[in-house]
Structure 1
Amino acid sequence: MMISCDGFRHDYLSLADTPHLDALRENGVYVAKLKPIFPSITFVNHQAIATGLYAETHGILANDIIDSETGELVNMFDDGEKFATADPRIIPIWVSNEEAASGRYSGVSMWAGGQFHWGPNEAVPTHLTLYDGSVPWEERVDLALSWFVDPDRPANFVVFYLEEPDSTGHDNGPESPEVKAMVEMVDALLGYLVSRLEALSLLDGTNLVFLSDHGMLGVNRSMTLHLDSIPVPPSDYWHATNSPLVLIYPLEGKEEEVYQGFLTASMTRPFTVYKTENSPEEWHYGPTPHSPPFYIVADKGYTFSDDAWLLNIPEDPRNEMIGVHGYNNSFPEMQAYFVAYGPAFKQGYVSPEDFVFNNIDVYPLLCHLLGIQARPNNGTLEHSLDFLVPTSSTGHSVRDSSSKE
């Protein structure tokens, strides 16, 4: 079972009281930093975790993009299926698990893209819950765990998504008391999840992976940049703002004029312009069929003001800070956390301080745990070998060869 807590920065474990996660890492595996891919945004990174692919390959560029055929703003969570599934070779792990053999069933609880139809078979998971923030957390856990004991189609693999502490971090900034309190609530939920697995007699045979998609940076509200203050006519381009990242789609015939306008403005303002075809190599953010010709990224500590979530945050004179992610994926504040527990994982393993585990490496790790063939991906199992229990000739953990994942 894989559990993603959105926006759980790598150091939140030391900023809050987290007895349940502390117990899991003390008796399992703790990797100090899980590195996201660029951009360090939710859907982009949940897809990286599910496929082991960079954005330029899995094709999800941001949470919001522009449909270049219509000029319409597309929210990828709700309306992005045709873009996310355009390449039939892109198959999330929950689909690969079911297609590996008969009698294998996956469950997806509120994970981005879980409801999309993937691959040539247009597959969806056997067990599925769509995102609904109004559903009580413990109810979500109970439903997801019930899939493991379904009398007709028992799941052998479940992914579970929680929207916190990301939402609270956006509203209050990552160092706020509100985030500390929320992290402790998240920890309590994870403790509940473990207790329910134990009550179902599943804990000893289940491999658990706890992680997040990205971290969070505190930004003062006064450091927001306004697109309409840049001397480029808004009627000459479409744009999709994803906090510090803005995708720019010039209208036909305006490409060079719009690009030069933003480039000139960037000389005196805190953002950088990147042609997609010249993206930094380490970002792996090259052109796709849905990429804009260029994009802009705010400097660290700045963000763009017209993202929907930012516009909806009420101003609070007691707290000028907000939380932002989407920056360079190498920034320390963008790093997430990773804890693993179960029969396949060593006990009491702590990664070296300088070791950074890439989230694209999670996919080959999960394939190994599930005993399925990994599809072509950008990750490597090599980065996981130090914290895995040595395996038998069958590829299963010698501590418990009959474990679920």
Structure 2
Amino acid sequence: MKIRVNHRCSDFDSYRAERVKSLFNVDSGANFQLDAKLPIEDEGWQIGVIVGPSGSGKTSIGKQIGEMYKPAWPASMPIVDAIAPGGDFAAVTAALAAVGLGSVPSWLRPFQVLSNGEQFRATLARLVCEAPPLAVVDEFSSVVDRQIARIGAGAFAKAWRRTGGKAVLLSCHYDILDWLQPDWVFDTATGQLERGCLRRRPSLELEIHKTDWRYWPLFEPHHYLKLPHMIAATCYVGTIDGEPVAHLAVSTRPGLVEARACRLVVMPEWQGAGVGMRFLNAICDAWRRGENRYNKPLPTLFHTSHPGLAEALRRDRRWTQVSARLFGDHKMRCRDSMRKSAQAKGISESSSGYGGHLRAVQGFRYLVEDTPCAS
């Protein structure tokens, strides 16, 4: 597709305008011209990027390719309702999780009250759900922190490629290219077109530290449940370049028959980078090998209500689903049971119980397949 940008405006001759021309040896600021040949009509590509400094013609090129993607967001509706209102609920939550907006409380807020980073990811989730045949996105990642921009770009690329659509992203930042791994890149600064996915996504070195509940206050605001600490739990914190990015607590079921993991949280700026599953699998694998305080190999049981995480666990061959409940246990029955147990042990009675919620809970067990011995 051949594109020619030729903008003209008035050539002013005021004192200051003429002085600027004289000082910087500029004849006129009235004309802007740019020629580009882009592989828009080619087959087999899904993500293209037009990158370059501000004022170099990116938006003008994008307007000739197609209509800019600028969805209108209702002011009195949470984003979970505003995205694909007639579509499937599971598809919407999966898209939000896929682009890294996995913090459930954010789903319940209108678009206007979200942070810039959350708005960026919400827009990407909506684009993934709507999946037009061709989308042009201006100012891609320009208004967010660079960490969120890079991780968000990588998360979007993985989610978008599953839609089968084509997206042209316009950006003034080069740091997202390795994360996007686009099929082609046109640089408006040089006029050069780079074809083929020649970039390699940067690796993330995740370190896992065994600790206690001291780091939980950093992660608790981003967890969708408010519950007491697990009894006799070992906590783990994952860090990247010394920055805490993930948390998990692991305890055991009665009789040391298996481990029980919960309180998995990934910081919002790292959601969508694949950190959570790597972190969870590494810890569960260590427990499966007996690397725990009991020096006993144990499988791990993990429950979640997060639809995106449940789908990721179903895709991972190391996990098997063992339960799916649409609602919690009878809360009063649980309270009575806990009171009887407390009385039998001679301790103070519990005043409440667990359950009574309508939250769908899905259970998974970590069971690595045995590796065949070499003959």
Superposition TM-score tier, normalisation by shorter sequence: under 0.3
User: Taking structure 2 as the reference length, what is the TM-score of the superposition?
Assistant: 0.21
Could you tell me the TM-score, scaled by structure 1's length?
0.20
